[in-house]
Amino acid sequence: MIKKRMGAQTVRLDSTPCMIGAACVAGRKEGEGPLGPQCDFIYEDTSMGGGSWEKAESLMQKDALQRAVNKAGVNVNEIGFVFAGDLLNQCIGTTFGVMDFARPFYGLYGACSTMAESLSLAALMIDGGFADNVAALTSSHFCSAERQYRLPLEYGGQRTPTSQWTVTGAGAAILAADGPGPYITHITPGVIVDAGVKDANNMGAAMAPAAYETIKTYRADTGNLPVDAYVTGDLGTVGRKIVEELFAADGAPVKIVDCGEMIFDMHSQDVYAGGSGCACSAVALCAKLIPLLEKGVYNSILFCGTGALLSPVSSAQGQSIPSVCHAVRISNTRG
């Protein structure tokens, strides 16, 4: 018998799992942005001493997870499951990053929605009584993403105004069955939405309809359960405006706060439409959003991770870019 479902897609978590530790690391460009001082560590070298950009991504995941475990005050062996992923083929950044922790592992691919996806599954595991502590993490790297999805960096191709800058970094959060909060109270998993966009340099437009559908569903399912902020993962300037326009057309205006616009200085850092990548929302969550919740600046947020579900193969075959958005309500109270 289903007891925790609300409406079409939303799940109410009776045990309201809590976040007991979170950490993020980032690259030099990110360190120069507004969230740099709030990151746990800034790497000056894009290879992080790993010898390649892909190895660097693994090192960042390992670093972020260990820092989150330390801040949570738990032993690695107390982590029941690890949910993690990245943008690379077969999620190799994650595989080599978390391998040495030797914990039960679920590899995820939700593209840039991976932080929200991993938080959702981690919270469900705890709410279901399957673990006391679960780790959720993800990463991305500007250079590894460009090499895989677009052009060799050496090519020096001109970027379009709608393009976004993949964030170099990693973020990790440890969820527990009990603690002082903040708490995960509701989850609205997204459905795949295809707006027909084929331009890999316009991810905001591709992902915006998915964010709109998930937020709209959350509001309908929960009776518009209030939050202080709707925070999207990495729509950037273009996608954020599209979502706001879609809600305005419905006669139900919504103000969106986007991680892709908060992680860089949009006026001085030349990132075009903003930040993107799995680490975009992960770093913003760990460096800024969780501290704002802990300080009471926000009482609750709807953290909406957005992901473009393309691959180099699908793009080469001329297919469009389907997208998904997973929403996680995070609150200071368990009520």
| CA 67 – CA 218 distance, rounded (Å) | 32
- What digits encode the pLDDT tens for the residues 286-296? 999 999 999 99
Global pTM value: 0.95
Domain ranges across the chain:
5-176, 183-331
**Structural contact between residues 320 and 230, judged by C-beta atoms closer than 8 angstroms:** no
CA dihedral 240, 241, 245, 247 (to 10 degrees): 20
Of 48-57, 157-166, 269-278, the least confident: 157-166
CATH number for the domain whose boundaries are 183-331:
3.40.47.40
Looking at residue 182, what is its pLDDT? 97
Whether the ω angle into residue 182 lies within 30 degrees of 0, i.e. cis, is yes
| CA 14 – CA 26 distance, rounded (Å) | 34
Provide the token pair at 284: 């913003």
Q: DSSP strand E in 56-115: where?
A: 81-85, 105-108
Looking at residue 200, what is its pLDDT? 85
| CA 153 – CA 80 distance, rounded (Å) | 39
C-alpha angle 288/289/290, rounded to 5°? Answer: 100
3-state secondary structure of 8: coil
Average pLDDT over residues 75-104: 96
**What type of residue sits at position 86?**
D
- β-strands 165-166, 275-276 pairing: parallel
Looking at residue 46, what is its pLDDT? 86
Of 23-32, 113-122, 194-203, 277-286, the least confident: 194-203
**Structural contact between residues 224 and 10, judged by C-beta atoms closer than 8 angstroms:** no
- In 3D space, the residue among 35, 41, 36, 37 whose CA is nearest the CA of residue 23 turns out to be 41
Q: Sign of torsion, CA 209 274 318 90?
A: negative
- State how far Cα 322 lies from the chain centre: 17
| CA 19 – CA 330 distance, rounded (Å) | 9
3-state secondary structure of 80: coil
- What digits encode the pLDDT tens for the residues 115-156? 999 999 999 999 999 999 999 999 999 988 888 776 666 656
Q: Does domain 5-176 have CATH number 3.40.640.10?
A: no
- In 3D space, the residue among 142, 162, 117 whose CA is nearest the CA of residue 304 turns out to be 117
For residue 303, the cross-strand partners are: 231, 328
Contacts of 63 (CB under 8 A, 6+ apart): 25, 41, 170
Query: What percentage of the chain carries pLDDT values higher than 70?
Result: 97
- Reading phi first (left if > 0) and then psi (alpha if -120 to 50, else beta), residue 330 is in beta
Domains 5-176 and 183-331 share a fold: yes
Report whether pLDDT(1) > 80. no
- In 3D space, the residue among 30, 89, 94, 35 whose CA is nearest the CA of residue 61 turns out to be 94
C-alpha angle 146/60/238, rounded to 5°? Answer: 45
Tell me the helices (H) and strands (E) count for the chain, helix number first.
Answer: 11, 15
| CA 229 – CA 208 distance, rounded (Å) | 17
- What digits encode the pLDDT tens for the residues 210-261? 999 999 999 999 999 999 999 999 999 999 999 999 999 999 999 999 999 9
Going by pLDDT thresholds of 50, 70 and 90, the confidence category of residue 157 is: low
